[in-house]
Amino acid sequence: MCPLAAMLALTAKALYTPLETIDQACVLVEDSSIVRLGTMAEIELPAKAKVVHFEDCVLAPGLVDIHIHGSVGHDVMQADAGGRRKMEEFLARHGVTSYYPTTVTAPEEITLAALDRLADAIEASGDGQAGRAQPLGIHLEGPFLSHARRGVHPPENLAPPTLKTFEKFWEAARGHVSLMTIAPELDGAPQLIVQASRRGVCASLGHSDADLASARKGVAAGARHATHTFNAMRPLDHRDPGILAEVLTNEHLTADIIADGIHVDPAVVRLFCKAKGDDRAVLITDATAAAGMPDGVHRLGSLEVEVREGKCLYQGNLAGSVLTLDRAVRNTMQFAGWDLQRALRAASLNPARVTGVAKGVLKAGGDADLVAVNLKAEVRATMVKGVLIQ
């Protein structure tokens, strides 16, 4: 780890903003902000600057994971600050500079306690935590999910979508709920989507058995994203297309996908990328505490899941993943035929836009959150708030 210097200059083969490309690039960083970026010919290096060269690499915005339950043995709902720190260090080594800890359906009192702890972590973010991925907000996955498409979420803890229940979660999280996965066909779902959206929460369609009409009602109420597309959704049928028709064809909806080659076939990842395009495709991990760990038994909320040959299973069903976001970028390049710039955008700018946070883009005056990768999307270094991790 490179400690914060008065001025740091990074040079590279190229830089993706990610919308624009700068060849033979240079980025000047002071404290936690980008001072200037451009070509090496344009920027005169200050005498006081420490220079770090990445000749064979591309500089790009730090990756943003909006759906992650844990990594390296830590589940985000656990009361384990040391485990969370190790997880954040692990994420940074894989290019992730910002993330949204994601809950899983559990007894209400467990969820409320977890939301309170996660709010503490978010409010303390950046306070002596440089060099680690930063939690920006909470993704509430459950309990407003369909019983028919609940996946491994415990059926006894699912709840109807009511403002009263949401208020409890909102207060426990002290307003730090940024995303909420919800099945739009449930009674009360459109009304809750309206209320949550007014508070700036991104309502995301997911864990849903909705027909096309119900999905469209959810969108009309304010839903603007979809959670792990294809997984825990009514399958696409040519006469009864259901929720997937809305997710894939609505140009106002962003959508995310688990591109690990297990949750979704590579050919379907390619289809998804063609349908959602450069602007609306988002990569997530849905990683559990098992990510970065050997095969064995690990935690997912209150559940014990088994990892075997890259699959994370609960009672024989897929239960999250062991994917890292840099691997998702590499897989998307392979599965969808996307180039590095497009695949990186789907893991940085696009997810940042889902939550409306000022991340995922490199610009003068912006946060010094970036990643250096080679042309195969292998991480060479990550910078979080001006601190370089190599």
> DSSP E strands: which ranges in 216-373?
225-226, 255-258, 281-284, 296-300, 303-308, 311-314, 317-318, 370-373
In a domain, 299, yes or no: yes
Do 365 and 34 contact (CB within 8 A), yes or no?
yes
Are 150 and 14 contained in the same domain?
no
So what's the pLDDT on residue 304?
Answer: 81
DSSP, collapsed to helix, strand or coil, labels residue 195 as helix
In a domain, 1, yes or no: no
Tokens of 74: 């830590």
So what's the pLDDT on residue 310?
Answer: 84
So what's the pLDDT on residue 241?
Answer: 96
* d(C-alpha 71, C-alpha 94), whole Å: 11
Strand partners, 59: 15, 372
pLDDT at 303 over 80: no
**Which one, of 133, 135, 155, lies nearest residue 146 by Cα?**
155
* d(C-alpha 62, C-alpha 97), whole Å: 5
Are 351 and 376 contained in the same domain?
no
Confidence of residue 26 (pLDDT cuts 50, 70, 90): very high
Are 21 and 146 contained in the same domain?
no
Q: What confidence tens digit (pLDDT) does each residue in 69-78 have?
A: 999 999 999 9
Average pLDDT, the chain: 94
In a domain, 216, yes or no: yes
Q: Percentage of residues in the chain with pLDDT exceeding 70?
A: 97
Are 246 and 140 contained in the same domain?
yes
Do 257 and 283 contact (CB within 8 A), yes or no?
yes
The amino acid at 371: V
In a domain, 278, yes or no: yes
In a domain, 2, yes or no: no
Mean pLDDT of 251-262: 97
Do 309 and 254 contact (CB within 8 A), yes or no?
no
Are 123 and 165 contained in the same domain?
yes
Tokens of 132: 């680690």
Are 68 and 56 contained in the same domain?
no
| CATH number of the domain within which 296 lies | 3.20.20.140
Q: What confidence tens digit (pLDDT) does each residue in 213-238 have?
A: 999 999 999 999 999 999 999 999 99
Are 53 and 67 contained in the same domain?
no
pTM of the model: 0.96
The C-alpha torsion from 148 through 141 and 260 to 249, rounded to 10°, is: 70
* d(C-alpha 111, C-alpha 99), whole Å: 19
Are 165 and 80 contained in the same domain?
yes
User: What is the number of domains present in the chain?
Assistant: 2
pLDDT at 131 over 90: no
Are 173 and 247 contained in the same domain?
yes
Backbone angles phi, psi at 348, to 5 degrees: -135, -80
Mean pLDDT of 102-118: 97
pLDDT at 14 over 70: yes
In a domain, 351, yes or no: yes
Are 380 and 351 contained in the same domain?
no
Are 192 and 277 contained in the same domain?
yes
| CATH number of the domain within which 51 lies | 2.30.40.10
Which residues have a catalytic role annotated? 286
* d(C-alpha 110, C-alpha 31), whole Å: 38
So what's the pLDDT on residue 355?
Answer: 98
So what's the pLDDT on residue 388?
Answer: 94
pLDDT at 128 over 70: no
Host domain of residue 153? 63-355
Q: Percentage of residues in the chain with pLDDT exceeding 90?
A: 86
- Could you say which DSSP state residue 46 is in? P
In a domain, 360, yes or no: no
Q: What confidence tens digit (pLDDT) does each residue in 314-326 have?
A: 888 888 899 999 9
Q: Which long-range contacts (CB under 8 A, 24 or more apart) does 307-313 make?
A: 310/260, 310/262, 311/262, 312/288
Are 52 and 161 contained in the same domain?
no
* d(C-alpha 102, C-alpha 69), whole Å: 5
Burial class (CB in 10 A: 0-12, 13-18, 19+), 23: exposed
Tokens 């699912």, residue located: 158
